[in-house]
A and B are shown apart, each in its own frame.
Chain A
Amino acid sequence: MGGYIGRRIAQGLIVIVAAITISFALANVLGNPVDVVAGYNLSPQQRAQLVHAYGYDKPIAERYVTYVSKVSHGDFGQSLRNDDPAAQVVLHALPYTAVLVLGAILTACAVAIPVAIHSVLRRESRLDRVLRRGLALVQGVPEFWLALLLVLLFSVTLHWLPSIGASGVQSLIMPVLALSLPLMSTIVRLVRSQLVDVLGMDFITALRAKGLTMREIVFHHAVRNSLAPFVTFLALQLGWLVGGTILVENVFSWPGIGSLMVSATQVRDLTVIEACVVLVATAYVVLNLLADLAIAAIDPRVRVAAR
């Protein structure tokens, strides 16, 4: 088991290093970051000064190595906008995003899982099939549009909820809704199909042969057996969530990593962008790792395969 964890951590580190490399490459692909950020509004002396100050005149391989070693100590350099340490800027925005993402996942699961279970217990009813078709269609809705519609409805028309900023629980409602609604439909479909798969397996008949009711079977056995694929799926959804979060944060001016990244991109604050990319990639890796560990805890077969 320890070897399994070790291997996954090693794989995760490789991904993080790759993220660092990619973001470094992006920042430097068009030549000097100084040129990219400040444009050509500098006199040759100013440019030379800046280049030297930031160490951009050194060979790229050396800069890469310096960069990696600095990053591994948490030093992402200064934000090119306001000289604050980039890492600090990013970490300041992190809790806002975390609250949003966590809220969205919890809300989506809290609604979707019971709906899916109920749907399975009442399979083959007309309502169930209509609902499923409907849900499938809802998946095509872009989350930023949904967010705007919510704002239109609840802020502009009804004046119930604030549309901008992070000021207390009220302002959290719409962003979480916008992010969780598309997720809900996906989760319902997935959990339902997983449950149906599990319910088709041999051991379910054996459980009925022991005299268990459908209810007992679904709650005590089917759900647990569907958990592992569900966790895997959630981990996969994280990639999508990152994108959705960025867009939703933008709509609501929510001061999280998404907004930070977009504004940094607009002014070409490369150090902050790099920090964001690396941080998000790291978070992604950590969460995937946690998901894997959770699966190993649930399913004893995985523990064996991992040895």
Chain B
Amino acid sequence: MDKTFRNKLEGYTAEPPSHVWDNIQGHLAAQRKKRRLAYARWIAAAAVIILAFMAGWYFNEKSEKVIPEAVENQIPAPQKTTPQPENKMAQQENKQNNVNEGAGKTGNPALAAKKITSTLTEETVLVAAVDNLDVTIPENENSENAGTGSVQFENFSMNFLNSRKASFSVNLSEETLKQEQVTTVDQLSDAEKGLIAENAKILSEPSKKEGNWKMGLTVSPGYASQVTSHTQNYAQNMTYSGTEGIKNVSGGISVQYKTGKKWSIESGIYYAQNDQRSSNAPDVNYSSLVSGPAFDSEKSYFNTAVNMVDGQMAMNSTAGVIEFSGTPRGTEVATGVEDLYGGSNTLLTNSEFSQVFDFIEIPLYVRYNILDAKIGVQIMGGLNAGIIAGNNVFMENRFGTQNVGKTQDISTLNISGTVGFGLNYDISRRISMAVEPRLNYYLNSINQNPDVMFRPYRIGVYTGLYYQF
């Protein structure tokens, strides 16, 4: 019996209906399109990331180049006045203040070494940032690849389900035709065949399931400020602390992965800036300077004690000790032996100082969908690794804005917490827009100096365009 079946059916052939070939072509064309789209997507993502970093690097470089030449000529007089007791006074003050820098001209090798390492850290910040890039991006790629793999697999099964649906409807019409006129499928008119193929194509098209991945670009105008506190010793010789925050813009790339119906996790890379402004203390020790040469009593001067180490100045400020790379334009350094405030040198200027920190933040957020509709509501929260990519001190006076140095003891890697509440709107099936107020607050003091507690925070309204795939 088996043999009869085998013999009769082995060579059995039947001409399949022509719409089968049309459907196959439709499927293959859709696959090709999808593949092209996937390439384009990756290229676009890579381009955006590269662009973001090039921009960050460019701006960083640019701001470093503005370092002005030291204007030693402008301040000839005060340094001559009392060179001898300077060392003693400096050492005394150093003990008292417990400031890391400034051992006077004792030539202590340990301190000199310390200075070298602190200048090195700026470079290592950049290197660390770049290293971090190298590590994180391939990771993302891998996990996303794996993700799209599974998505494709799901797509395939969905395709298959839908194509079943498609040909089911197609065949319904065929069967009714058969019943009515007992004709074979081949006798369908060309127009009908075209329609059938078209229908099948359309039906198989929306089978692409909404992806679990979401990628977006966000920008946020924001308000950045900080919570600070200082030891009394430090504060005694500190610039006048600025209390106002700064308005600035931050932004970045966000990558989200949906883990469940309501939950998703998010990472990405963001750029943010925190900027602390302070002026020198209003003329507290004005009187001690009256006798100083080249002092124009008409001018309203501000001053803060500075420490001089091998001709380099260090000044206590809100976010930490400012290490000057030279003597900025529009300043004068006064040295007074009988200075009541313990500072051997005083920086006279009516400039405003800003200590600017550029952060590259890599977040890990959890999102929860409160309302999943065309206009959805989400809450989010999580942690950021904030890498300091830029540490600069600017001084603003009648000579313009100068980059005068950097802040000491700033840690390269800091942790901040973020909470937010967002609204998102689906523009189309894949593209959505989100507006999300967020609060980002540094959990540690970004300055390692025990005398300084400086924790930046930022409130921003993150507006982003997202693409789901």
Say whether A and B bind each other.
Answer: no
Interface residues of B (CB under 8 A from A): none
**Residues of A participating in the B interface, judged by any CB pair closer than 8 Å:** none
